[in-house]
Chains A and B, each alone.
Chain A
Amino acid sequence: MNALAGTFVVLGFLFFIGTTLGLLRFPDFYSRMHASGKGDTIGAIFMLLGLALHNLSPFSWSGVFVSLKIVLILIFLFLANPTATHAIIDAGYETGVKPWTREDTP
Chain B
Amino acid sequence: MRYVFTFILMYGFWVLLSGKFDTFHLALGFLSSLLVSFISSDLLFADTRVGGRMRELIRFIAFIPWILKEIFLAATHVALIALEPNMATLEPRLVRFRTRLKREISKVVFANAITLTPGTITIRISGDEFIVHALTRKTAGSLPGEMEERIGRIFGEF
Chain A interfacial positions (CB closer than 8 Å to B): 14-15, 18-19, 21-22, 25-28, 30-31, 33-35, 37-39, 41-42, 45, 62, 65, 68-69, 72, 78-79, 81-83, 85-86, 89-90, 93, 99-102, 105-106
Contact = CB atoms under 8 A, between A and B. Distances in A.
A39 B78 contact: yes
A62 B92 contact: no
Interface residues of B, number: 33
A39 B118 contact: yes
Contacts of B19: 62, 65
A28 B91 CA distance: 12
A22 B82 contact: yes
A34 B131 contact: no
B79 A86 contact: no
B91 to A, nearest CB: 5
A69 B16 contact: yes
